[in-house]
Structure 1
Amino acid sequence: MLTKLIWLMAGAFAIGTEGFVIAGILPAVSRDLHVTIAQAGHLVMAFAFTYAIAAPVTATLTASWPFGRQLRLAMGGFTLANVIAALAPGFTALLIARVLLALFAGLFMAAAGSYAAASSEPSRRGRALALLYMGMTAATVLGVPLGTWVGNNFGWRATFWMIGLLSLVSLLGLTRLRPLTVPWPVPSLRERLRIAARPDVLMTLGVTLVCFAGIFGVYTYLSPLLRLVAGLSDDGVALALLSFGVCGAIGNLLGGHMADRFGALRVGGLALAVLGLVQAGLAWVAHAAPPQVAVYLVFGLIMAWGVVGWSFPPVQQVTLVQQAPQAVSVVLSLNASAMYFGIALGAWIGSLVVAADKVRSLPWVGAAGVFAAAGLAAVVRGRLRRAARRAQAAPLPA
């Protein structure tokens, strides 16, 4: 199975690195292109907003194509967009490149997920999807810290060249992909929207959106925050992102295991509560911690954030699958769109805070968003439990 999916994993690794590394090289982009940190944050907003809208649309428009054509088109376009980003003469050109990158990234991940599921037996599809998304997890552990180090030592353009090279390797491997066609009916865009309009699904998607808005209001500007609060150097920021990625990989595995053992609703609520406290702790450190201990507290909180924060996405996916077991692919794609809408919203809110010269207050944005998501999750949990009790109390048909 690993050899069958290795080039899909390589593509997911490149896309994951592209999506998250911008937070580590934001100051370098800002200095070189003569824009403020807040304006540079629009690069995150443009990528996330485009991904959220384009992913379900492009997946629907290309659904009848053979998988190989979808994947090669997406990765070829993604490779070219990285070259455009690396050669961008100014901020506007880089912004356009980020939009193109999101467009092709969304198409690739949707097609890759379908291919991984379609090429495996039903009893092994979970493991196939886990292998695919291991590429994304590896990006947070290796790709983002490496891309940050490269960008801070050789210039931010070198980071895009690096990702472009990774993308090209994946593209070359995809030329050897085993031909496969879609073995199941593909839902239309209207069917996707109809499922999203269900109150229980819509509220759960709202939890995803609000949580990620809070988190990425902080993560997008994590580099300037760490430099200001903990006095970290370029290498120190890369080390912090490495710690975050390693702990995130642990949290991702832990979240799925705990959801299976203790229930997704309970674990999700607990994860959000703890994550909110971590963000509040980071806010306290930013404003009140003595400078000589701030760096140690920051690293501890970053690691806790990685574990708890990355434990939440798989738990949220389990919640949605339980709500709509007949439409798994639809609810998971909707959850991805909600996540990226949240990232775009968080990047925008964070840019307002940074523009007001309130960088130390960014963690309060994170805390507010996560606690709001926890409150909404509690409402969802109550509604689902009441629905379950009504179903149990309903008389059986004669």
Structure 2
Amino acid sequence: MPLSRRPTGGLWLAALTLTAFALQTDDFVIAGVLPSIARGLSVGEAAAGQLVTVFSIICAVVAPIAAVAAAPRSPRTVLTCGMLVFCAANLAVPFASSYPALLALRVLAALAAALTLPAVFSVTATLSPPDRRGRHLATVTAGLTGAVVVGVPLGTWIGAAAGWRATFVAGGALGAAALVFLRVALPDVPPPPAAGLRERLRPLAASAVLRALLAATVAVLGNMVIQTYLAPLLHGLAGVTPSGLGVLLTLTGLAGIAGARLSGTLVDRIGPGRSFSVAAVAFAFAMAGLAVCWSMRPAHVAAIVPLLLLWSAAAWAVPPPVQARVLMLTGPESGPQALALSSSAVYLGASLGAGLGGWAIGSLSLGALPIIAGACAIVGAALFALPARKTLRVEDRNTEDRHANA
């Protein structure tokens, strides 16, 4: 779309951000109602946690393929169809009386998300002026972050008040609101230039980009080991109830917002590499504290709240340095594809984290979760700290330029 024909208002960007928020909330909200799902369907908590694994791994694997398959069609049509299926899959949850039935609906919702999320990034890149593309993509990505910061606590409260099925109904209603917003605010843009799967995966050919995305995957894996099974972990650690969990998730959500904003500032001042290291060290410290508290349980809630705040702030301090490094290395032309791949990396880490956490609960104990998560943070930091020399020169030059222009 020529620059002169690009819409100047911000409503389309808000609609796309709300869509990303709804899709990501639907994936992660299970963490807040996991014990209730397990009791309601007479399955173990590890089995209930695999609902996150299934959703996330489908999104990670299917998203690039769905983007290629949907390329010839109008993005507005793709978004509409995807969100219709997404809403239907969530609104049908009250009729799912068994675990297999709920699993089938989660697969359907995941396929809809895998079709929709790449289109969200593609439309954002198409409608954004070149000098604002990075900021607009970051805004949409913030919708993904906000899902855990706001969506999961809200879904947990709804589940505690009206039952876990109501949480999914609310997710369907949120998706419906996003769909209406899209239909009202989003212009009918032409399909993006045809790009095959190989071209969409091209950013992975750069070893530094691949390492950054792998580091993000490992870091998210460690975070989701805790995030997915936070409810049973806190209940075993300090007897936290579902209503109390909602309060704690709200507090950790606010800490996550603060951590993400602080991380963005650090990226500008000291570069992505050092910023990622700071976040990883803080995350590992919080996990070490939770492991110590588990060994001395029962712990008082007041003793674990600071550790939970540090955990959330550190966890959400990871995306800004990853996105900044990927954009620095790929440039503006390949940036949207690379950021879409970073979304797949997040989903892959989420699926592996939920699966690993479920295995740990069944084979070890809940107390092993913080130890595993902390180890993942250290491995992620090591991967992110091994860029090519060219990467370091690019980051140092960008940091110096920002300081010079400040």
TM-score, normalised on structure 2?
A: 0.89
Cα displacement (A) at 1:24? 0.6
Cα displacement (A) at 1:98? 1.3
Cα displacement (A) at 1:278? 1.4
Q: Which runs of 5+ in 2 are unaligned?
A: 1-8, 397-406
Is the aligned partner of 1:221 residue 2:229?
yes
Is the aligned partner of 1:320 residue 2:305?
no
Cα displacement (A) at 1:63? 1.7
Which residue of 33, 43, 58 maps to 2:41? Answer: 33
Task: Tell me: CA distance 1:111–1:156, structure 2 relative to 1, closer, same or farther (3 Å).
Answer: same
Cα displacement (A) at 1:355? 1.2
Is the aligned partner of 1:311 residue 2:317?
yes
- Matched letter for residue 126 of structure 2: A
Task: Tell me: CA distance 1:387–1:262, structure 2 relative to 1, closer, same or farther (3 Å).
Answer: closer
Using the alignment, how far apart are the partners of 1:19 and 1:92 within structure 2?
17
Residue 13 of structure 1: aligned partner: 21
Residue 374 of structure 1: aligned partner: 381
Cα pair 2:280 2:377 within 8 Å, conserved: yes
Q: Which runs of 5+ in 1 are unaligned?
A: 390-398
Equivalent runs, 1:44-83 vs 2, <5 Å? 44-83=52-91
The range that moved more, 374-383 or 71-80, is 374-383
Cα displacement (A) at 1:186? 4.5
Task: Tell me: CA distance 1:214–1:139, structure 2 relative to 1, closer, same or farther (3 Å).
Answer: closer
Using the alignment, how far apart are the partners of 2:366 and 2:388 within structure 1?
34
Task: Tell me: CA distance 1:104–1:284, structure 2 relative to 1, closer, same or farther (3 Å).
Answer: same
Task: Tell me: CA distance 1:338–1:130, structure 2 relative to 1, closer, same or farther (3 Å).
Answer: closer
Residue 180 of structure 1: aligned partner: 189
Using the alignment, how far apart are the partners of 1:195 and 1:133 within structure 2?
18
Using the alignment, how far apart are the partners of 1:131 and 1:384 within structure 2?
25
The range that moved more, 328-337 or 189-198, is 189-198
Cα displacement (A) at 1:188? 1.7
Using the alignment, how far apart are the partners of 1:50 and 1:209 within structure 2?
15
Residue 394 of structure 1: aligned partner: none
Residue 109 of structure 1: aligned partner: 117
Cα displacement (A) at 1:212? 1.4
Cα-to-partner distance string for 1:270-289 (whole Å, 9 max, x where unaligned): 21122112112211112126
The range that moved more, 23-32 or 316-325, is 316-325
Query: Matched residues, percent identical?
Result: 36
- Number of aligned residues: 386
Equivalent runs, 1:235-254 vs 2, <5 Å? 235-254=243-262
Cα-to-partner distance string for 1:70-114 (whole Å, 9 max, x where unaligned): 110111111011123332121111112112212211322221222
CA RMSD of aligned residues (A): 2.1
Cα pair 1:60 1:189 within 8 Å, conserved: yes
Residue 395 of structure 1: aligned partner: none
Which residue of 173, 188, 194 maps to 1:165? Answer: 173
Residue 362 of structure 2: aligned partner: 355
Cα pair 1:276 1:371 within 8 Å, conserved: yes
- Matched letter for residue 189 of structure 2: L
Is the aligned partner of 1:299 residue 2:296?
no
Which residue of 249, 266, 281 maps to 2:274? Answer: 266
- Matched letter for residue 132 of structure 1: V
Task: Tell me: CA distance 1:122–1:105, structure 2 relative to 1, closer, same or farther (3 Å).
Answer: same
Cα pair 1:268 1:312 within 8 Å, conserved: yes
Is the aligned partner of 1:211 residue 2:211?
no
Is the aligned partner of 1:154 residue 2:170?
no
Cα displacement (A) at 1:156? 0.8
Residue 403 of structure 2: aligned partner: none
Is the aligned partner of 1:233 residue 2:232?
no
Cα displacement (A) at 1:65? 1.6
Cα pair 1:84 1:94 within 8 Å, conserved: no
Residue 339 of structure 2: aligned partner: 332
Using the alignment, how far apart are the partners of 2:358 and 2:158 within structure 1?
25
Report the 3-state secondary structure (helix = DSSP H, G, I; strand = E; otherwise coil) of the residue aligned with 1:311.
coil
- Matched letter for residue 323 of structure 2: Q
Cα displacement (A) at 1:28? 0.2
Report the 3-state secondary structure (helix = DSSP H, G, I; strand = E; otherwise coil) of the residue aligned with 1:379.
coil
Cα pair 2:238 2:297 within 8 Å, conserved: no
Report the 3-state secondary structure (helix = DSSP H, G, I; strand = E; otherwise coil) of the residue aligned with 2:217.
helix
Cα pair 2:237 2:297 within 8 Å, conserved: no
